[in-house]
């Protein structure tokens, strides 16, 4: 299954260069097991059909929380995102560099920490340039598509898109909920577990420790998904 890629990190580097030149109350289900115990029938389906049902359930929930650790070619990324439709609030952290992200009403914002700027420019000059803007959200131009991969968790089809062919794995209890595993031939280290009772939500993507992603708070209302104050925003020029 797909996650944030190295290409996305490269896109951030380009954005950082441009910037240098410019001088919740939650409600909803905590887990599928909390809502129903009746079998939902997905355990009897073929793997591809189970994945389709999981996507449909997640879309039907309207919102969810995904959190965990993933790696790509040795680069470890901590992911913590709350998603409501196409809106997102959360963060991505790698190597001590942290990028807070916010997407509301079609507008995207990001708030990097000092370590992020240092990682983008080892001379420290970029960090000095951005020091006066610390704590503010940076708003890329609306026509800037370079950061799309970072907000990919809002796209359920991409988030749960397999790299190869999916097959059914073992059935087991995951975080208190009965579930069936889906194994991706293109990513043999990952197993996506889908609830077999209640709504067929994806519950967890298991990978070798310490990696893995957990899905929760289906249908929740996230108070932190809101437009920042105009005084807390730095707007990037249109490209």
> Is residue 156, in this structure, part of any structural domain at all?
yes
Residue 178's CATH number: 2.50.20
Neighbours of 77 (CB within 10 A): 20
Q: What is the pLDDT of residue 153?
A: 65
- The confidence score (pLDDT) of residue 29 equals 42
**Dihedral over Cα of 178, 181, 182, 188: its sign:** positive
Residue at 157 is within a domain: yes
Report pLDDT for 21.
Answer: 36
pLDDT of residue 203: 96
The sheet with strand 97-104 has its strands ordered as 166-174, 177-184, 187-195, 202-206, 212-216, 63-72, 75-84, 87-94, 97-104, 107-112, 137-139, 233-235
Q: Kindly list the averaged pLDDT for each block of 10 residues, start to end, along the chain of length 239.
A: 46 37 39 63 97 96 93 82 93 88 90 80 67 77 70 80 94 95 91 97 92 94 94 81
- 84 falls within a domain: yes
How far apart CA 189 and CA 204 sit, in angstroms, is 13
Q: Please check whether residue 55 lies inside any domain of the structure.
A: yes
pLDDT for position 35: 44
Range of the domain at 118: 6-235
Cα separation of 4 and 150, whole Å? 6
pTM of the model as a whole? 0.80
> Is residue 130 situated within a structural domain?
yes
Element housing 116 (H / E): helix 114-120
Residue 32 included in any domain? yes
Q: Has residue 12 been placed in a domain?
A: yes
- Which CB contacts under 8 angstroms, 24+ apart, belong to 91-100? 92/4, 92/150, 94/9, 95/119, 99/12, 99/150
Q: Per the domain annotation, does 1 fall within a domain?
A: no
When divided into structural domains, the chain yields a total of 1
């Amino acid at each position: 299954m797909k996650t944030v890629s190295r290409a996305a990190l490269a896109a951030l580097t380009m954005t950082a260069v441009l910037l240098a030149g410019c001088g919740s109350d939650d409600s909803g289900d905590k887990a599928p097991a909390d809502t129903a115990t009746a079998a939902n029938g997905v355990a009897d389906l073929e793997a591809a059909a189970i994945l389709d049902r999981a996507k449909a359930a997640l879309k039907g929930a309207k919102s969810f929380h995904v959190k965990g650790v993933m790696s790509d070619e040795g680069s470890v990324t901590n992911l913590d995102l709350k998603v409501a439709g196409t809106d997102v609030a959360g963060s991505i952290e790698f190597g001590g560099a942290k990028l807070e992200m916010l997407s509301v009403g079609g507008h995207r914002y990001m708030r990097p920490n000092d370590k992020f700027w240092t990682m983008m420019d080892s001379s420290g000059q970029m960090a000095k340039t951005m020091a006066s803007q610390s704590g503010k959200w940076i708003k890329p131009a609306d026509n800037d598509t370079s950061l799309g991969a970072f907000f990919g968790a809002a796209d359920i089809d991409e988030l749960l898109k397999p790299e190869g062919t999916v097959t059914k794995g073992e059935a087991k209890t995951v975080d208190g909920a009965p579930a069936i595993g889906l194994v991706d031939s293109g990513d043999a280290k990952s197993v996506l577990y889908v609830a077999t009772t209640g709504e067929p939500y994806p519950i967890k993507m298991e990978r070798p420790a310490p990696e893995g992603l957990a899905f929760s708070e289906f249908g929740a209302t996230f108070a932190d998904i809101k437009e920042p104050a105009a005084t807390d925003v730095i707007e990037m020029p249109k490209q």
